[in-house]
Amino acid sequence: MLSIDQAGKMSDEELLLSSLGDQDNFLYLIQRYKQKLFNFIKRITSVADEDAEDILQDVFLKVYLNLNDFDHGFKFSSWIYQIARNQVISNHRKLKARAEGYKTPLDEEMVRGLASGLDMEKLADAEILKLNIRKILKGLSEKYREVLVLKFLEEKSYAEISDIIKKPIGTVGSLMNKAKSEFRKELEKQKVTL
Amino acid sequence: MIEDKNFDEKLLNSIKERKVAPKPRWHFILKEYAIWIAGAAFLIVSAVSFSLVIHMVRLFRFREFGFYQKAVHGPLEFLMLIIPVFWLVMLALFVAIVYYDFKKTKKGYRYPPLVIIGAALLASAGLGVIFARAGLGERVDDAIGKSAPEAFYKHVINPRIDFWSEPEKGRLMGLVIFKKSDDEFGVLDIRKKEWLLYTEGSIGNRDMIEVGRPVRAFGEAISENEFRAEEILSFGPGRGFIMKMRPMPGTPDMMFGEPGRGMIIPGEEGSPKKFFYRAY
């Protein structure tokens, strides 16, 4: 098994290859991605922490089973997010029944990024924005919520989003525009005063 | 935050305990190859459909528009006769399968639907033209005409067969079974009825009138089994369908062979049945 220092210097792709040789090295990939994916799952589904952890377990299990399917023409992070998204979709109905609401923390930088992306820089009060963004995101349809979360909360590029949601970049662009417009409409609908 | 502090260790232990192992690489390679091979196969089938579309329209003569326009009841019926609807539907279906197949490849989702469908159509058209030039469209139509259920072929695949099988309305189609002279020959229609055709003064190339070959005629039925042709037309798609009416070699009263591989034996004057084609 690799030492923590050795693993720390390795790229995701190198860790993947080393996991194929030694199962224990997969631990470093779990540690690298568990929190990111946990937050992602919570942000796009609003499930309880316990359910999110169950999904996360299934995600890592699938990743491990499909290590040989990883194509080096992709970014590992896009691949693992794609698997997480698929797992969320396949658990969709079960999760909806036990939805708990968006409680994943949003840091100020993310909130400002979202406000800036939505041309709402004037909305300076990050705390108010944080609370309302959760409410608004919940009111959006999944396809719009998903791209907004990936772009502004997970800070993914359009190319990465394209690989994660398996749609052409052009489609991601138009989805993003519609999502922003839906976000503003939802804002109006909920009469949120920011 | 993940509440379970030992999440990673527990997960790894569970993987070990359940003896989970990564699926072998060949499994994924095989899957990807299968998708590409299926896509290529469906692309070839769609190209064959395109070559059939070409075959169906290639032998269409401009003056036939007039016949169809006069005979049909509306624009829809007219379009159904002049456009090879069945093969266009097949082409669309196979291109759709190629599209869904391509989307299943690892990077297929990166391309917009219009690009994939456009490329599949272009590839089908390109290959289809090559196939049509090589005579594949014609051969496939012949084979389908011979083997497809009769009603399905003449009503769905090639509705022109029905259109040209209405002698009472001046349209006759069939197989030349004997040739008495340049302007008088016998035809067996798709209902297996024999007709004596008079072509004196009609338009059309007489070279196509050859025993064992299908032919179309536009004109007027002048009796139960006599037809005066105003125009003789070469036979388009449906040759296989009409050729399957040929009796097997050795049938006592009529024998047919491939054109140019037999001889016409004249019988009693004025009796069509006494003329027959003997293959040798």
Distance CA B47, CA A194 (A): 59
pLDDT tens sequence across B6-42: 888 889 998 988 888 999 999 999 999 999 999 999 9
Residues 64-83 of A with CB under 8 A from B: 64-69, 71, 73
Helix orientation angle between B85-103 and B113-133, rounded to the nearest 10 degrees = 130
Torsion of CA A94, A100, A101, A104, to 10 degrees: -100
pLDDT tens sequence across B101-118: 999 999 999 999 999 999
Residue of B nearest to A161 (CA): B110
pLDDT tens sequence across A73-105: 899 999 999 999 999 998 876 666 554 555 556
Q: Does A60 touch chain B if contact means CB atoms closer than 8 Å?
A: yes
Q: Report pTM.
A: 0.80
Contact B23 A66 (CB under 8 A): yes
DSSP-derived 3-state class of residue B234: strand
pLDDT attached to residue B258:
41
pLDDT tens sequence across B43-93: 999 999 999 999 988 867 676 777 777 777 888 888 888 889 999 999 999
Give B217's strand partners: B172, B232
Residue of A nearest to B114 (CA): A168
Mean pLDDT (whole number) for A160-164: 96
CB atoms under 10 Å from CB of A148, counted, come to 26
Residue of A nearest to B10 (CA): A57
pLDDT band, residue B246 (cuts 50/70/90): low
pLDDT attached to residue B271:
45
How far off is chain A from B59, nearest CA to CA, in Å? 42
CB pairs under 8 A between A and B: 68
Residue with more model confidence, A123 or B184: B184
pLDDT tens sequence across A107-143: 666 677 777 777 665 555 556 666 677 778 878 888 9
Chain B residues whose beta carbon lies within 8 Å of the beta carbon of residue A24: 12
Mean pLDDT (whole number) for B133-150: 92
E strand intervals along chain A? none
Residue with more model confidence, A83 or A192: A83
Q: Output the CA–CA distances (angstroms, integers) from residue A86 to A44, A82, B9, in the order listed.
A: 12, 6, 24
Using a 10 angstrom Cβ sphere, with 0-12 exposed, 13-18 middle and 19 or more buried, the burial of residue B261 is exposed
Long-range CB contacts (within 8 A, 24+) of B26-34: B27/A68, B28/A66, B28/A68, B28/A69, B32/B105, B32/B106
On the question of pLDDT at B145 being above 70, the answer is yes
* Six-digit token string for B277: 């084609």
Out of B15, B27, B110, closest to residue A162 by CB: B110
Q: Does A34 touch chain B if contact means CB atoms closer than 8 Å?
A: yes
Average pLDDT, chain B: 83
Chain B residues whose beta carbon lies within 8 Å of the beta carbon of residue A53: 2-4, 7
